[in-house]
Amino acid sequence: MSMTTGGGGAYSSDINVTPMIDILLVLLIIFMVIVPVVPKGLDALVPQPPKDPSKQPPPTDRTIVVQVFYRPGAAPTYKINETEVAKTDLLARLTEIYANRAERVMFVRGDDDVNFAYIAEVIDIGKAANVDHIGLMTPKILAGQ
C-alpha cells in the first residue's frame, strides 16, 4: 500500500500490489481444487513394433494374449493364446497361469466388431487374477493409409 503525507491531491506513482496478490491467491485456490478432480484413465500398454522388422523375436510362451472373437447374434468367444476358453473359466485359467509368474503382463485383443464392454470385462477379470500390467493390442496399421 502506498501512503503519502503532506499536501492533498498529490498523485503517487507506486503500484498497489494488494489486488494482484488477492487475484493470485484466488487462482492458487482454484488450481488446488481442480487438480485432484482430473480423472485418471486406464493404464494401458500397447506393444511397440520392433525397430528392425527383419529381426523380429520368435513368439514365446511367456506372452499371454486373451483374444475376444465376435459372433453375430451370440456372446463372443474367448481364447488364451490359441486355446479356447469359456468366459466362466477365464478367471480360474488366468489365476492358474499367473500363480508362479514374476512377470504379470497380459495383452487383450478384440475383433473390430466386438463391443468394448466385453474387452472391459476381460480387463476386469485380468485385474482379479492379479495381473499387474494389461495391454491392449491394436490392429496393424499399414504405412501410407
For residue 89, tell me if it sits in a domain: yes
* Better-predicted residue by pLDDT, 142 or 50: 50
Beta strand residue intervals within the chain, DSSP E: 64-69, 77-80, 83-85, 105-110, 133-136
Residue range(s) defining the domain that contains residue 113: 53-136
> What is the distance of C-alpha 121 from the center of its chain?
15
Please, which residues have CB within 8 angstroms of residue 79's CB and are 6 or more apart in sequence? Answer: 66, 67, 69, 85
CA 108, 112, 72, 131: dihedral to nearest 10 degrees?
10
Cell numbers found for residue 143: 504405412
CATH number reported for the structural domain that contains residue 104 in this entry: 3.30.420.270
> For strand 77-80 and strand 83-85, is the pairing parallel, antiparallel, or unpaired?
antiparallel
Is residue 98 included in any domain, yes or no?
A: yes
* Tens digits of residue pLDDT in 50-91: 676 666 555 555 788 899 988 888 889 999 988 899 989 999
Supply the pTM of this predicted model: 0.57
Q: Is residue 72 part of a domain?
A: yes
| Number of domains observed in the structure of the chain | 1
